[in-house]
Amino acid sequence: MVALKVWIPEEYHVKWLKEVFDFLKEGGNWIAPATNHIFQKQGNALVWKNHDVMEDEHEIYARSEIIGKCCGIEVIKENKNDK
């Protein structure tokens, strides 16, 4: 996992992720416009589908994981061996 400098999500980050999660149907994908990272809704989780990203792009996943914890959504990598 990428070590982040102390980063605490703002309220709007949490609200936004919750709204996106609630909007997605089971198995639905959300693609981050800035990075084209793909997250898929599976149960109460968003699964990060990207495997071939550069190391510095893992910050997108790490921040999503932090925001998810704030609103009760598990954010996980598709391949648990990737952690």
The structural domains of the chain, with segments of one domain joined by +, span 11-82
- Model confidence, pTM: 0.77
How many other CB atoms sit within 10 Å of the CB of residue 24? Answer: 16
Q: How confident is the model at residue 77 (pLDDT cuts 50, 70, 90)?
A: confident
Supply the DSSP symbol for 57: G
3-class DSSP assignment, residue 61: helix
Q: Are 24 and 38 in contact (CB under 8 A)?
A: no
Residues 18-74 have pLDDT tens digits of 999 999 999 999 998 877 889 999 999 999 888 676 666 677 788 889 999 999 999
Least Cα distance to 76 among 65, 7, 2 occurs for 65
The kind and range of the H/E element at 38 are strand 38-42
Q: Are 64 and 39 in contact (CB under 8 A)?
A: yes
- pLDDT (0 to 100) of residue 59: 79
